[in-house]
Structures are given as structure tokens and as C-alpha cells.
């Protein structure tokens, strides 16, 4: 599964930008070096994507994260490199620890998002799992998804905003188009912290 998304072998750094973004919390100063991101992936090069900016990044495998419920304690964001619904217990745990962003691809599309936040968006169990495909992930599309994720993480670090709160951006190569889709809370969901996703441009600041 070897792949390479960046040239810097270090695991520090991150900064970011946005359009039609949603505030997460009051704006902070430029790059916060105390910000820590945990990447859950079996890949051997994905973490380098975040090493070109200014945050600390720590990578663990899905198996490790599943067996250690405290795998991301202290993290300001968690990135999951797999499709929603692939690891239900792990996804639920991540949702309760920190804002969680999905990044993944299949043979014909790449997806970044949604960014789920406890108390502000729908929970992982409300997400509609994608249709299962037999073909392996497309590395070029996955690289695109990671590049898009990098922009979002930078926006969070530098301005506490994101365009992907409760939304997923998908590049469908087979159909030749890119689209964004909002996720919705499942009717009757009892998961603590599950909420209706905010409207585009709405504030997420706590009351």
C-alpha cells in the first residue's frame, strides 16, 4: 500500500484557506503550534501531506485506534482515511473526542468530508454509507482529497473556519464532476451530541 503525498518526512506543520466558510470558534492567531491532528490510516505516506505546514501530526492505524479508545485524547482534529460506516465503533469514538474529517477514495471518486463536530453536526451513525465497490482506491483521487483536506485544516488552524462542516466534497471522475453534499441528522437519532448540520455560512460558536 505504499504511497507518497509529500516530500517532508517530518510530522509537524499546517496552515489553511476557505470560501463560504463556517466559523468553528472565535478566530485565533495565525498558526497555532499547539494544534495536534491525529491521522487514522494504514498508509505510509499520507502523514507527510500535513508535514508541509505548521501543526503536529500523529498517525495511528485503524486497528490500533480501535483497540485504544484514548488514541486521540488531546487532539484538536481527527482525520479518518476510510469511507463512512467502514469502522462504526472507531468513528463513534472519534466523534466524541474531537472534530472528525473523512478522507477517502474508491476506483472512480475521491471524497473529503464531512467534518463532523459533536453538538454541531450529525453523528457518524447518521451518515449514509457509500455503495460498496470492489475496485481499489484511486491514488490520484486520494491525493486530491488529501490536498483538499490540507486546505481545510489550514483554515481551521489559522482562522477557526471550515467549508466542510457537515458537508462532503466529492470528485466523481467517472461522471466528470465535483459536487458538495450536506449530511443530515437521522430522524430519531439518540446519539449524544448528534445535531442538525448548520446552514452554509452559519455560526458554530457555542452559545
pLDDT in tens, 34-70: 788 999 998 876 777 777 777 788 899 999 999 998 8
List the beta strands (DSSP E) in 10-160: 22-23, 36-40, 56-60, 77-80, 100-105, 109-116
Residue 114: is the preceding peptide bond cis (ω within 30°)?
Answer: yes
Phi, psi dihedral angles at 46 (to 5 degrees): -60, -35
Measured between alpha carbons, how far is 122 from 84 in angstroms, rounded to an integer? Answer: 12
Contact call for residues 61 and 39 (beta carbons, < 8 A): no
pLDDT at 133: 60
Whole-prediction pTM: 0.80
Give whole-number Cα distances, 196 to 71, 164, 177, in Å. 27, 14, 27
Phi, psi dihedral angles at 124 (to 5 degrees): -60, -35
pLDDT at 169: 95
DSSP H or E stretch at residue 177: strand 177-182
Low-confidence ranges of the chain (pLDDT < 50): 1-21, 23-32, 199-207
pLDDT at 6: 35
SS3 77: strand
pLDDT at 200: 46
Measured between alpha carbons, how far is 89 from 78 in angstroms, rounded to an integer? Answer: 15
Dihedral sign of CA atoms 18, 109, 53, 183 in order: positive
| H-type alpha helices, 41-113 | 62-67, 88-97
pLDDT at 136: 64
Amino acid at each position: 500500500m505504499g504511497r507518497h503525498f509529500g516530500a517532508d518526512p517530518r510530522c509537524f506543520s499546517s496552515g489553511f484557506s476557505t470560501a463560504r466558510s463556517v466559523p468553528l470558534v472565535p478566530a485565533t492567531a495565525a498558526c497555532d503550534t499547539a494544534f495536534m491532528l491525529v491521522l487514522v490510516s494504514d498508509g505510509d505516506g499520507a502523514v507527510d501531506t500535513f508535514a508541509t505546514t505548521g501543526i503536529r501530526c500523529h498517525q495511528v492505524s485503524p486497528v490500533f485506534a480501535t483497540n485504544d479508545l484514548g488514541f486521540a485524547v488531546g487532539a484538536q482534529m481527527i482525520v479518518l482515511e476510510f469511507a463512512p460506516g467502514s469502522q462504526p465503533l472507531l468513528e463513534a469514538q472519534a466523534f466524541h473526542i474531537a472534530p472528525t474529517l473523512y478522507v477517502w477514495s474508491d476506483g472512480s471518486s475521491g471524497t473529503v468530508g464531512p467534518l463532523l463536530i459533536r453538538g454541531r453536526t450529525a453523528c457518524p451513525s447518521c451518515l449514509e454509507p457509500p455503495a460498496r465497490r470492489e475496485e481499489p482506491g484511486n491514488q490520484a483521487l486520494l491525493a486530491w482529497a488529501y490536498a483538499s483536506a490540507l486546505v481545510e485544516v489550514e483554515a481551521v488552524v489559522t482562522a477557526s473556519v471550515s467549508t466542510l462542516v457537515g458537508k462532503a466534497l466529492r470528485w466523481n471522475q467517472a461522471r466528470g464532476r465535483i459536487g458538495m453534499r450536506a449530511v443530515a441528522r437521522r430522524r430519531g437519532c439518540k446519539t449524544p451530541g448528534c445535531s442538525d448540520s448548520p446552514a452554509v455560512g452559519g455560526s458554530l460558536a457555542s452559545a
